[in-house]
Structure 1
Amino acid sequence: MNLATVRYIALNKGIDPGGLPKMELIRTIQVTEGHSPCFGNAETGYCERTECHWHLDCLSRSRHQRSC
């Protein structure tokens, strides 16, 4: 999901995206929705929250961070 889409989602939830980077903005949205701010933290490359709106993007980012 691109940053423009994440900003659009944030605005629709009453969040001012300002200059927040994508990861921080998604975590802010997660907190606003009552979830833990876990985006990008799937250390094992697996997450059981498959219903999460950010699931595929999160796993992709988590894998990338582990390989760096």
Structure 2
Amino acid sequence: MPTIKDIQSIAKNRSIQLPKKIRKANMIHILQEKEGNSPCYSKQECTNKICLWYIDCQKEFNKNKK
């Protein structure tokens, strides 16, 4: 499960500027959009198991679904 620091490090390595005060899901949405993908983290059930965020995403999705 990626931490906030992990996500910030990924963004920095990709030269993506993230706002200072932002939720984890929104950080990931920004990264997904910059990659040219849909900002779908924790919004839907997914089968894209090669996605970097897949495991954490589906845990969040199932937690929010309840």
- TM-score higher than 0.5: yes
- In structure 2, the partner of 1:24 is 26
TM-score where L is the length of structure 2? 0.88
For residue 19 of structure 1, report the CA deviation from its aligned partner: 1.9
Taking only aligned residues, the RMSD between alpha carbons, in angstroms, comes to 1.0
Where in structure 1 do 4 or more consecutive aligned residues deviate above 3 Å? none
Structure 1 gap ranges (5+): none
Structure 2 gap ranges (5+): none
Higher relative contact order (CA 8 A, sep 6+): 2
TM-score where L is the length of structure 1? 0.86
The one-letter amino acid of 1:7's match is: Q
Say whether residues 1:56 and 2:55 are aligned partners: yes
Percent identity reads 27
Which string of whole-angstrom CA distances, capped at 9 and with x for unpartnered residues, describes residues 1-51 of structure 1?
111101111111111222221100000000001100000012xxx411111
Paired positions, count: 64
